[in-house]
Copies of this chain bind each other. A is one copy, B any other.
Amino acid sequence: MQNNISNFTYFNPTKVVFGKNQISALDQLIPSNKKVLITYGGGSVKKFGTLDKVKQSLGDRVYGEFGGIEANPTFETAMKAVELVKKEGYDFLLAVGGGSVIDATKFIVAAAEFEGNPINIFGSGIGTSEPIKSALPFGTILTLPATGSEMNAGSVITFKEKQAKVSFGSEKVFPVFSILEPELTYTLPKRQLANGVIDAFVHIMEQYLTFPVGAMVQDRFSEGLLQTLIEIGPDVIDETNKDYNLRANFMWTATNALNGTLSPGVPQDWASHDLGHEITALYHIDHARTLSIVLPALLTIRKNEKHDKLLQYAERVWQIAEGTDEEKVTGAIEKTKEFFARLGAPTSFKDIDLGEEVIDILVAQLEKHKKIALSERKDQTIEISRKIYQAAL
């Protein structure tokens, strides 16, 4: 029976502290006896003064810093932080940044307490996928709404030499708290804002655009978030528009897109992510910009399998009331593509100057990473994935 809501467990203990001037709450949020390691990325948190505010709010606590976490955070970099944590005895981590910094920090807190080689936290042909028994506590200060990592227990780490992006998840790596200040997004450039909108949009689609199981609440919540992104997306990417509510709605949408609100008891796809990760790993394309290329192609190729949900998506999210079912479905896919294009994102390989030559290479990577039975029904074979890449040319 595919058409019943499945049994599920919902659990999310992360405390979200949302609004204006919330960094000052750090003093209440982190126990005063903790030795804190602040993790961050390329330096914009220094440039825009966020790091200074954080340090001030830490008061008398002893703290250190670990910067330089990359946009697709690598195992190699994260392991350097793990060594530092062990050597210096840090017992609380504070991630200041976007999804990459937070994902890396999740790995660091788990690896620091892991018995044996931390590479075995991963599966997917990389490690032996052993359970995480404990992790150091950590909090986050989010600077880039996109991944939802600030309120979930998942992480994606890149293995440079192996040209692989691999995820892991564990209840032990929920952030203890996450501070969400919409005003921290005011310094973001257009491209990162657009990436955030697309990333959140596709997160929702991976949990929504599958086959119907009659989960009315989850469907309505997904549709509400998609409608919100469609409504605000074009304004969000205007970097000069510093409307508080606009950025607050963007931030809260991106968090809810992947914090467990949409997924209880429903099937999930994630094939757009699987296919996109290979493009990022080989050609260093921004994660979101691989999704804007793959998703419309995937929906086109998988139109029959996803028919019922595509029709619901057309009618409820895009308000397409006219035409045959087939026309509605095609129209909704077309509108999705136009939405991504309007955000300045690529929607084909051609848009990122790649051509037919990449197809065989990407397909080989899928095989290597055992991505041979993808999607909500595990029926997306290598041959179907090839067709999707081809449809994206």
Interfacial residues, chain A to chain B (CB-CB below 8 A) = 3-20, 22, 213-217, 220-221, 223-225, 227-228, 231-232, 244-245, 248-249, 252-253, 256, 261, 264-265
Contacts and interface: CB of A to CB of B under 8 A. Distances in A.
A16 B22 contact: no
12 contacts: A3-B245, A4-B248, A10-B15, A10-B16, A215-B248, A216-B231, A216-B232, A217-B228, A220-B220, A220-B225, A220-B228, A221-B224
A264 B256 CA distance: 12
A354 to B, nearest CB: 36
Contacts of A13: 11, 13
A7 B18 contact: yes
Given A217-B228, A224-B223, A225-B217, A245 B4 contact: yes
B228 A224 contact: no
A10 B253 CA distance: 14
A311 B179 CA distance: 34
Nearest to A248: B5
Contacts of A225: 217, 220
Contacts of A228: 216-217, 220
A17 B9 contact: yes
B7 A245 contact: no
A17 B249 CA distance: 30
A19 B261 CA distance: 16
A217 B251 CA distance: 10
Nearest to A256: B217
Contact of A7 (B5, B22, B261): B22
A11 B16 contact: yes
A164 B238 CA distance: 54
A309 B4 CA distance: 35
A252 B264 contact: yes
B224 A18 contact: no
Nearest to A253: B217
Contacts of A15: 9-11
Contacts of A18: 7-10, 264-265
A4 B223 contact: no
A290 to B, nearest CB: 26
Nearest to A3: B245
| 9 residue pairs, one from A and one from B, having the closest CB atoms | A220-B224, A7-B19, A214-B245, A10-B16, A11-B15, A13-B13, A216-B249, A216-B228, A5-B248
Contacts of A249: 5, 214-217
Contacts of A227: 220
A224 B217 contact: yes
Nearest to A224: B220
A225 B216 CA distance: 9
Contacts of A252: 217, 264
Contacts of A12: 12
A193 to B, nearest CB: 17
A265 B3 CA distance: 36
Nearest to A14: B11
B9 A245 contact: no
Contact of A19 (B6, B19, B220, B221): B6
Contacts of A213: 245
A255 to B, nearest CB: 9
A244 B8 CA distance: 14
